[in-house]
Amino acid sequence: MNLSAPPAEADETRRLQLPVACAVGQDCFAQQLPDMDPGPGATDPFCGTAAYDGHDGIDIRVLSMRDIERGVPVVAALGGTVRGGRDGMPDRLANTKELRDAVQSVECGNGVVIDHGQGLETQYCHMRRGSVRVKPGQRVEAGQTLGEIGSSGLAEFPHVHLSVRRNGAKIDPISGRAVGGGCLADDTERATLFTPEAAELLARPTTQLLAMGLAGEVLDYETLASDGPPPTAGANATMTVGWGWFANLHGGDRVRFQMTDPAGTKVLDTLTEPLDRNKAVYSGLAGLRRPPTPGTWVLDVAVERDGAALLHRTQRIEIR
């Protein structure tokens, strides 16, 4: 991505920082970006698929509802004055029509709006119940804690949603262009509102492997989103299951799982069927109907696109 310097007249003191105090790409993940397609389709600012129709901000997630409990701070991206806020809504996964309908008028959930002056405003949504620390009229500085990542309002995974407005109009802070104003694959960040450090983190590939491991049972996405990664299989498990948890896969992508046992024998090499459509989140698995032998196992997980490996990760796992 092009991380060239901003125009000379840009005020570096007005650059947005990341709205979270966590290691992006390690223990929190930028999953969804603004939709830059002006029509009924969806495309992210990099002309990729990390967006859905009508999405107007950046979603930075933690893995599961259990991760909410460790208290991941949401911070002010820029200094300003708190214009409004809400707290008290419960944290839950809005994964049914009833739950989604129940929050139609309060989709943001627990959140904060900050006025930065000169027509610039940021909004932070879906924060953890009881975590909001600021009040309307209060002055806040860049990096000051506003609350914590949660799953309140219309949230199907735990995250903070950052949206930016300039003079009331929705702005994609990555490109500095109006939301719905079209993508720029090769020059996306020329006029970014972010600091270079924040822009670099948001320029990571949109297809991500969030987590992987060896489990002793079959698991599904709902369990992962609720409880997080399962414990590593023990020697007394009834099966050996390699699993991977992904964000922003494309239709046609396939996932390859390979397992090598402590003796150095490759005991599994399997490729999933092609995905029938784009997937904002996806979990896949493959395994053996027998317990793992004690020792060091090697799990390889790769996403293949158009016959080539898009990303690949290897993990050595000790079974006791």
Please return the burial class of 241, using the count of CB atoms within 10 Å of its CB with bins 0-12, 13-18 and 19+: buried
Query: What was the pLDDT predicted at 312?
Result: 95
Which CATH fold topology does 12-202 show?
Glucose Permease (Domain IIA) (2.70.70)
Query: What was the pLDDT predicted at 11?
Result: 67
Query: What was the pLDDT predicted at 9?
Result: 43
Would you tell me which CATH number, out of the four given (3.40.50.970, 3.40.50.300, 3.40.630.30, 2.60.40.10), belongs to the domain 208-319? 2.60.40.10
Domains of the chain by residue range? 12-202, 208-319
What b/e string do you get for 200-221 counting C-beta neighbours within 10 Å, with b at 16 or more? eebbeebbbbbbbbbbbeebee
Instruction: Tell me the per-residue pLDDT of 268-290, one tens digit each, with 9 for 90 and over.
Output: 999 999 999 999 899 999 999 99
Query: What was the pLDDT predicted at 7?
Result: 44
Q: What is the pLDDT along the chain (320 residues), one digit of tens a residue?
A: 444 344 434 566 789 999 999 999 889 999 999 999 998 989 999 999 899 999 999 999 999 999 999 999 999 999 999 999 999 999 999 989 999 999 999 999 999 999 999 999 999 999 999 999 999 999 999 999 999 999 999 999 999 999 999 999 999 999 999 999 999 998 899 999 999 999 999 887 788 999 999 999 999 888 999 999 999 999 899 999 999 999 999 999 999 999 999 999 999 999 999 999 999 899 999 999 999 999 999 999 999 999 899 999 999 999 99
DSSP of the chain: ---PPPPTT--GGGPBPPSBSS-BTTTBEEEE-----SSSS---TTSSSS--TT--SEEEE-SSHHHHTT--EEE-SS-EEEEEEE--PPP----SHHHHHTTTT-TT-EEEEEEEETTEEEEEEEEPTT-----TT-EE-TT-EEEEBB--SS-SSSEEEEEEEETTEEE-TTTSSBTTS---TTTTTTT-SB-HHHHHHHTS-SSEEEEEEEESS---HHHHHHH-SPPPPPTT-S-EEEEEEEEEEPTT-EEEEEEE-TTS-EEEEEEPPPPSS-EEEEEEEEEESSPPPSEEEEEEEEEEETTEEEEEEEEEEEE-
Other beta carbons within 10 Å of 78: 23
